[in-house]
Amino acid sequence: LVHLQVLGRSILLINNPKIAFDLLEKRSAVNPSRPTSTIVKLVGWEWNFVWMSYGQQWRRHRWVFWQHFHPGVIPTYRAVLEEGARRLLSRLLTTPGKLEEHLR
């Protein structure tokens, strides 16, 4: 778990699927809802379930996210990741001084 203070707000990053599931699914009724953020609204990020208050819409968005990123589907992205790594390495061999440009 990592705690950040960003723009006066506390943010808790959860990097363990079991803990995240326990906190977000099993204990969702006792965990407080996320406060609304003016910045999130100004930049148009209300659609992102990370910023949504818990409820039916949040559950739908989280389900869609989970379908594409749960541990069982990660291997399906292997070919895309390997191709990206090959392209990056090729560019670095050609122009090693442009690392930041290649990472964009």
**Which two structure tokens, joined as six digits, stand for 100?**
């930041």
CA-based angle 76:78:82, to the nearest 5?
155
CA proximity to 1, closest of 12, 51, 11: 12
Residue 79 pLDDT class (50, 70, 90 cuts): very high
> Which pTM value belongs to this model?
0.50
Contact partners, residue 20, CB within 8 Å, separation at least 6:
14
Give the tens place of pLDDT for each residue, 14-58: 888 888 878 777 666 555 566 677 888 888 888 888 888 878 888
